[in-house]
Amino acid sequence: MSGKTHPVKDPAKSAAFWHLWRWPIVMGLLSATGLLTALVSDGGWGDWWSWVGLGVPVVVMAWFAWVPGKPQVCRKS
Amino acid sequence: MTTMSRKEKAPMSSRRIKAWSWVHKWSSLVCTVFMLLLCLTGLPLIFHHEIGHLLGTEVEAPDLPRDTPRASLDKVMEVAQALHPGKVPMFALHEIDDDRFWYVTLGDTPLSDVGNKTVAVDARTAAVLAQPRFDEGFMYVMLKLHVDLFAGLAGKLFLGFMGLLLLVAIVSGVVLYSPFMRKLDFGEVRQTRSRAKWLDLHNLLGIVTLVWAFTVGATGMVNTWADLIIKYWQYDQLSALLAPYQGQKPPAQLASVQQAAASATALAPEMKMAFIAFPGTSFSSPHHYTVFLRGKEPFNSRLLKPVLVDAGTNVLTASPPLPWYLTALLVSQPLHFGDYGGMPMQIIWALLDIATIIVLGSGLYLWLGRRNPAKAGKAASPGKADKPAPAGITPEPHAARRETTGGAA
């Protein structure tokens, strides 16, 4: 966009951006394609992809919510 | 240059975080209770066909050979009306995936809201299959709570406004994701303190369900405007077509609805029947049968083509193309219901719904904890009850500053 005014991109900033947003963007793209493909297909690949696209985010949530190694004992009240 | 502008923007960013936090807090606080209600009542509605099947309230048409001739619609209406003498016909419709029977809706007037009767009539034999009650039972209560809180149009519009607040909460939540998650890896859920854990879960589930929740929220909001959109369609598209009927009384004797349906389907043989709106109903005019046809392909089966047929003479009046706002409404419905990708999609829809409930609940928990710092501190780590705001669960303004300028540049 404005490459001329900022000829040198700060690599640290860019790395930080991708560190933060890479997986949310992947999750968003998966969900979006999952929502759309089933709309234009009937029982075929579109349905299959919608199950993958919307299912992977569900699995990811479950994984991080329950499966992570728990180094510290969770002190539940 | 870059350093300068970064420095100039620095205090602004900190203020920006505060402003977005304020927006996030209040937009979610106002809508959270209603969103919890919508998520909970929506859960059984995802499976309404399956639940209806289990409860035996789902209409099941008998299997007959595919080439069984279809009964005349005039006969179907006659059979239905014989069960409820004195009521007038409002609609005759097919389920989207089952044209073996008609749902016939009858009411005291074409526009009546209460006391309507539905009769399911076999489309081949004109036998009465069932007289389903859509105004009682568990699913009815769920539906009404979900759609309008038993408060009609006002309830719908109110819930639509709550939906708008949800969208604001989602957008502001995404903006706040970066300052809060700056120091953490994606999916990291700190197990040290109860509050930190719930904050991390809130952020994780919130960001992962983002696109789905925004889609379901936005399409739900659009659905609350359905009544108004249809009213506008009448005004926008039908008033011109009705000009020649100015000063005429609606036909006293209705012409054959079977013929009306036949001339409509002849106009677009590549389409199939969705429903027929009888004269005077909200989907028609006082002078017409409006036959709504739908496409046969998955991508156009949700899109309707209205065909207006004079209800007195059976002359084909017009087939105005579907305006964009009705297209938007029709496309937004499956995206809200999650009923277009088979049972696996319904299950995923339910799981995403539950994830959203956790996002709402954890948000509420975090806010309550902040309101009662003593209590929250006790819950988080006994013995440190005096610590008001545990470190590590506040945003990193410095990091956020870099992020926001990075995003803006």
Q: Verify whether the Cβ–Cβ distance A73 to B191 is below 8 Å.
A: yes
Q: What is the DSSP letter of B155?
A: H
β-bridge pairing B316-318 and B98-107: unpaired
Q: Is residue B174 part of a domain?
A: yes
Structure tokens at B119: 């009769």
Q: Are B76 and B70 in contact (CB under 8 A)?
A: no
Q: Is the dihedral of CA B121, B122, B126, B127 positive or negative?
A: negative
User: Which pLDDT score, from 0 to 100, does residue B83 have?
Assistant: 96
CA distance B160 to B139: 21
**A59 contacts chain B (CB < 8 A):** no
How does pLDDT run across B67-100, given as a tens digit for each residue? 899 999 999 999 999 999 999 999 999 998 889 9
Q: What is the mean pLDDT of chain B?
A: 87
ipTM: 0.82
Q: Verify whether the Cβ–Cβ distance B181 to A20 is below 8 Å.
A: yes
Q: Is residue B405 part of a domain?
A: yes
Domain of B362, in residue numbers: 16-37+134-224+341-409
User: Which pLDDT score, from 0 to 100, does residue B109 have?
Assistant: 94
How does pLDDT run across B251-286, given as a tens digit for each residue? 888 999 999 999 999 999 999 999 999 999 989 999
Q: Is residue B154 part of a domain?
A: yes
Q: Is residue B110 part of a domain?
A: no
Least confidently predicted of A10-19, B103-112, B392-401: B392-401
How does pLDDT run across B132-152, given as a tens digit for each residue? 988 888 999 999 999 999 999
Half-sphere exposure of B350 (CA within 13 A, CB side): 12
CA distance B275 to B85: 22
User: Which pLDDT score, from 0 to 100, does residue B387 have?
Assistant: 35
**A26 contacts chain B (CB < 8 A):** no
Q: Is residue B402 part of a domain?
A: yes
Chain B residue numbers with beta carbons less than 8 Å from the beta carbon of A51 are 341, 344-345, 348
How does pLDDT run across B153-163, given as a tens digit for each residue? 999 999 999 99
**Integer Rg of chain B from CA:** 27
How does pLDDT run across B315-355, given as a tens digit for each residue? 999 999 999 999 999 999 999 999 999 999 999 999 999 99
A30-to-A52, B94, B179, B356, B382 alpha-carbon distances in Å? 8, 34, 24, 17, 42
In this predicted structure, the answer to whether residue A28 has a pLDDT above a threshold of 80 is yes
User: Which pLDDT score, from 0 to 100, does residue B383 have?
Assistant: 37
- Return the residue of A nearest to B191 by Cα: A74
User: Which pLDDT score, from 0 to 100, does residue B349 have?
Assistant: 98
Q: Is residue B249 part of a domain?
A: no
B272-to-A13, B296, B395 alpha-carbon distances in Å? 56, 7, 56
Q: Verify whether the Cβ–Cβ distance B345 to A38 is below 8 Å.
A: yes
- CA B167 to chain CA centroid, Å, is 14
Q: How confident is the model at residue A71 (pLDDT cuts 50, 70, 90)?
A: very low
In this predicted structure, the answer to whether residue B8 has a pLDDT above a threshold of 90 is no
Chain A residue numbers with beta carbons less than 8 Å from the beta carbon of B201 are 65
Q: Above pLDDT 90, what percent of chain B?
A: 67
User: Which pLDDT score, from 0 to 100, does residue B176 have?
Assistant: 94
Beta bridge partners of B291: B276, B307
How many distinct structural domains can be found in chain B? 1
Q: Above pLDDT 90, what percent of chain A?
A: 49
Chain B residue numbers with beta carbons less than 8 Å from the beta carbon of A7 are none
Distance from CA of A4 to the nearest CA of B (A): 12
How does pLDDT run across B154-187, given as a tens digit for each residue? 999 999 999 999 999 999 999 999 998 988 999 8
User: Which pLDDT score, from 0 to 100, does residue B57 have?
Assistant: 83
Chain A residue numbers with beta carbons less than 8 Å from the beta carbon of B299 are 39-41
Q: How confident is the model at residue B219 (pLDDT cuts 50, 70, 90)?
A: very high
Q: Is residue B212 part of a domain?
A: yes
Q: Verify whether the Cβ–Cβ distance B212 to A73 is below 8 Å.
A: no
User: Which pLDDT score, from 0 to 100, does residue B7 have?
Assistant: 41
* B300-304, B358-362, B403-407: which is most confident: B358-362
Q: How confident is the model at residue B228 (pLDDT cuts 50, 70, 90)?
A: very high
Q: How confident is the model at residue A9 (pLDDT cuts 50, 70, 90)?
A: low
Structure tokens at B259: 């013929």
Q: Verify whether the Cβ–Cβ distance A17 to B351 is below 8 Å.
A: no
Task: Give the count of beta carbons closer than 10 Å to the beta carbon of residue A74.
Answer: 12
User: Which pLDDT score, from 0 to 100, does residue B394 have?
Assistant: 61
In this predicted structure, the answer to whether residue A70 has a pLDDT above a threshold of 90 is no
Q: Is residue B178 part of a domain?
A: yes
Q: Verify whether the Cβ–Cβ distance A51 to B210 is below 8 Å.
A: no
Beta bridge partners of B98: B95
Best A2, A75, A76 residue to mutate vs chain B (most B CBs within 10 Å) = A75
User: Which pLDDT score, from 0 to 100, does residue A42 have?
Assistant: 73
In this predicted structure, the answer to whether residue B401 has a pLDDT above a threshold of 80 is no
User: Which pLDDT score, from 0 to 100, does residue B294 have?
Assistant: 94
User: Which pLDDT score, from 0 to 100, does residue A1 have?
Assistant: 41
User: Which pLDDT score, from 0 to 100, does residue B372 have?
Assistant: 56
User: Which pLDDT score, from 0 to 100, does residue B133 have?
Assistant: 87
User: Which pLDDT score, from 0 to 100, does residue B377 have?
Assistant: 45
